[in-house]
Structure 1
């Protein structure tokens, strides 16, 4: 069984600024610092932020879904501003999923605006189809809102200088 969930959020910053956050490891650091209710830890276990980078995500107690998993960056396209990560160990794979991929795409909208499109793609084995209900767009929506607030704060700080 294959499924896909999407979330879009307008950002009041140029696509290049949004990509400076999402195209690097900076988003992981920000998430760990600013979202302790969602993430207990975001650890870099391998790589430098490019394709092949592996992060271990540990969720805070009480967050629905898996307690932790490792994800690997399978695509980092700086021209198209797309980053994809797939779960490679633990988490959803232990719940009968054969694929769990998160994609962040920064789409240029205008000179000073962009859209952050977040997509979750998953494939779950038929005998575990009930676990598809564990997949939620809420974590990526929360990350998108955090990023928007962070980018807006930085924009305001830059304008004040």
Structure 2
């Protein structure tokens, strides 16, 4: 099994605590409202929402995939970090064992936040994944982040 690591940073004018609450803690409720074509619903299969929880994300009509299952590795509300692993689903295609994500929100000098994301793609056998496949995943993640940011800007009293 091989592993490919990819790092990405996205800036936001929303402070880290507010963005973390929306983007991590309440994302299961918020994203189906904000992007229903992307995510239809999220179900907790096992656990209480903290580490060890397994969630099933059902994609919307606009997605090429049906679902994925996430395992929550860690959740640190004080330091705004969240780690999870995609462990099952057709989004892994037939060439990935799992994808590990580490998300950290930090304050930016302008009062907003910087979302730092590390993704580790664990491939099956000696299968290689392309830069285009990684780029497509990066663009979807950035689109979700920016959609939540837009929602928070349009609804300043939310969260």
| TM-score, scaled relative to structure 1 | 0.80
Classify the secondary structure of the residue corresponding to 1:51: coil
Superposed displacement of residue 92, structure 1: 4.8
Partner residue of 1:154?
155
State the distance in 1 between where 2:127 and 2:15 align: 42
Superposed displacement of residue 74, structure 1: 0.4
Contact 1:5–1:137 (8 Å) recurs in 2: no
Distance 1:27 1:79, change over 3 A: same
Superposed displacement of residue 8, structure 1: 2.3
RMSD, aligned α-carbons = 2.5
Partner residue of 1:120?
119
Classify the secondary structure of the residue corresponding to 1:99: strand
Distance 1:132 1:43, change over 3 A: farther
State the distance in 2 between where 1:20 and 1:55 align: 18
The answer to whether the aligner puts 1:78 opposite 2:73 as a matched pair is no
State the distance in 2 between where 1:92 and 1:37 align: 16
For residues 4-43 of structure 1, the aligned pairs below 5 Å read 4-24=5-25, 26-43=26-43
In structure 2, stretches of 5+ residues that fail to align are none
